[in-house]
Amino acid sequence: MHCRERHPLKPRIHYSKASITDLEIQYATDAAANGWGNRCYEYIERFESYFKSHLGVTYAIATSSCTGALHMGLAALGVSRGDEVILADINWIASAAPITYLGATPILVDILPDTWCIDPAKVEEAITPKTKAIIAVHLYGNLCDMDALLAIGRKYNIPIIEDAAEAIGSIWHGKRAGSLGTFGTFSFHGTKTITTGEGGMFVTNDASLFEKVLTLSNHGRQRGQTKQFWPEMIGFKYKMSNLQAAVGCGQMERISALIEKKREIFQLYQQQLSDLPIKMNPEPKGTQNGYWMPTLMTLPSHRLDRVNLLNKFKSQNVDGRVFFWPLSTTGFFELRHDNNQANSIHENAVNLPSYYEIGATDITSVCSIIREHFRMIT
């Protein structure tokens, strides 16, 4: 008896994969061989300089993660036990966790149906005497309404923080995401538009805030302190390594091409799926979306059955991701039944593969699975 021939699995279509060239390898090799002693900060300082120039900000501190950058920034603002920090209910938990590290409470508000980012009207309703900060998370490259949020911040004298982990390449009316608020934070995780493997960046135009975070980032040792190993305060250890920064320097020298590639990938999806009852990442007039993660969401008149779609992807060796869950449903925070958009949107959306080497043929294959799925559910 002959066994039935098994067809090999199709090549995997990754949802994300870093673009690493000989340039990054060259810099990382140099850092590994020579980046020690008096050169131990060389690539870090170069990476920070590149990033400041790209973003148009005065100060930047490379960190071990975006979470660490956010933690230190909140600490430098004086966020502490009993305080409240407002952010959107739909987010990855990394945006909320640092608030809890400081003993403060995340106040989760609803999102806008078009951008999937925080609703400024809901922010203003949630402000209390305990409100210490507002975090604007630019989800999947989509931009928060920064004009409205900054106006609220000025009205109530509350700092607006930008979590731009997913928004490299996004521009709000001439200013890059992360450069508009009191401070901004970025992620260089392996899935992000540029990567250092792991890593992050704190940016600001506020000299005093910069000095506080710089001190916090080095176990509380102030810059210029002549007394060796003397801390001025209890700080943290969220510093990026020279090796990671070397990779980051290569990425920054290619950043325009990397941003443009993300935009090209999104546009191919948008063109092929334009006739379906869906919407994708928006790009309002006067803005540019970095399109970190192309996202498909059904119109209110339709349901997605995302579990079924993701199972179809998996059967064809295609990576897909769920849209973030509402944080209020995780059990760690107050359950918010009144966040109607957050509670309805997440089940009707998925993130699509967008790794740099994905080709037009692969995108067509992904779109074919999506089109077949919609034929089955309508």
At 197-249, the pLDDT tens digits run 999 999 999 999 999 999 999 999 999 888 888 989 999 999 999 999 999 99
- CA–CA separation, 217 vs 238, rounded Å? 6
Residue 30 has pLDDT above 50, yes or no: yes
Tell me what pLDDT residue 376 has: 86
Q: What is the CATH number of the domain that holds 313?
A: 3.90.1150.10
Q: In the numeric block, which tokens belong to residue 84?
A: 């409240």
Tell me what pLDDT residue 65 has: 97
Q: Do 128 and 243 reside in the same domain of the chain?
A: yes
Q: Do 184 and 87 reside in the same domain of the chain?
A: yes
Residue 10 lies in a domain: no
Q: Do 49 and 135 reside in the same domain of the chain?
A: yes
Cα atoms in the 13 Å half-sphere on the side-chain side of 73: 35
DSSP secondary structure, 232-282, as one string: SS---B-BPPHHHHHHHHHHHTTHHHHHHHHHHHHHHHHHHHTTSSEEE--
**Helix, strand, coil content of the chain in percent (nearest 5):** 40, 15, 45
Helices (H), the chain: 22-34, 42-55, 66-76, 97-101, 120-126, 146-156, 207-217, 242-252, 255-273, 306-315, 340-345, 360-377
Q: What is the CATH number of the domain that holds 199?
A: 3.40.640.10
Q: Do 268 and 170 reside in the same domain of the chain?
A: no
Per-residue pLDDT band at 4 (split at 50, 70, 90)? very low
Q: Which of 252, 279, 305 is the last residue of a domain?
A: 252
The count of domains in the chain is 2
Nearest CA among 156, 143, 130, 157 for reference residue 88: 143
Tell me what pLDDT residue 136 has: 98
Q: Which of 229, 252, 275 is the last residue of a domain?
A: 252
Residue 4 lies in a domain: no
- CA–CA separation, 99 vs 32, rounded Å? 35
Mean pLDDT of 117-136: 98
Q: In the numeric block, which tokens belong to residue 376?
A: 């089955």
Q: Do 286 and 232 reside in the same domain of the chain?
A: no
Residues in Cβ contact with 281 at an 8 Å cutoff, skipping those fewer than 6 apart: 140, 141, 142, 266, 289, 291, 293, 294, 295
Q: Do 26 and 102 reside in the same domain of the chain?
A: yes
Residue 12 lies in a domain: no
Per-residue pLDDT band at 8 (split at 50, 70, 90)? low
Q: Do 183 and 290 reside in the same domain of the chain?
A: no
Q: What is the pLDDT of residues 319-335, one digit of tens each?
A: 999 999 999 999 999 99
Phi-psi region of 247 (alpha: psi -120 to 50; beta: other; left: phi over 0): alpha
- CA–CA separation, 15 vs 352, rounded Å? 6
- CA–CA separation, 187 vs 196, rounded Å? 9
- CA–CA separation, 373 vs 357, rounded Å? 25
Residue 235 lies in a domain: yes
- CA–CA separation, 312 vs 309, rounded Å? 5
DSSP secondary structure, 116-141, as one string: -SB-HHHHHHH--TTEEEEEEE-GGG
Q: Do 262 and 199 reside in the same domain of the chain?
A: no
Q: Is the CB of residue 167 less than 8 Å from the CB of residue 141?
A: yes
Residues in Cβ contact with 277 at an 8 Å cutoff, skipping those fewer than 6 apart: 298, 299, 301, 302, 374, 378
Q: Is the CB of residue 245 less than 8 Å from the CB of residue 44?
A: yes
Tell me what pLDDT residue 301 has: 87
Q: Do 234 and 280 reside in the same domain of the chain?
A: no
Strands 105-109 and 349-351: unpaired
Type of residue numbered 199: G
Mean pLDDT of 364-371: 97
Whether the full predicted model's pTM is greater than 0.85, yes or no, is yes
Q: What is the pLDDT of residues 154-212, one digit of tens each?
A: 999 999 999 999 999 999 999 999 999 999 999 999 999 999 999 999 999 999 999 99
Residue 3 lies in a domain: no
Where in the sequence is the domain holding 144, given as residue range(s)?
A: 22-252
Residue 6 has pLDDT above 60, yes or no: no
- CA–CA separation, 378 vs 374, rounded Å? 6
Q: In the numeric block, which tokens belong to residue 358?
A: 């994905």
Q: Is the CB of residue 137 less than 8 Å from the CB of residue 106?
A: no
Q: Do 93 and 219 reside in the same domain of the chain?
A: yes
Rg, the chain, Cα only: 22
Lowest-pLDDT range of 68-72, 242-246, 301-305, 355-359: 301-305
Strands 200-204 and 59-63: antiparallel
For 200, phi and psi rounded to 5 degrees?
A: -155, -175
Residue 187 lies in a domain: yes
Q: Do 206 and 349 reside in the same domain of the chain?
A: no
Residue 13 lies in a domain: no
Q: Which of 252, 284, 300 is the last residue of a domain?
A: 252
Q: Do 90 and 234 reside in the same domain of the chain?
A: yes
Residue 16 lies in a domain: no
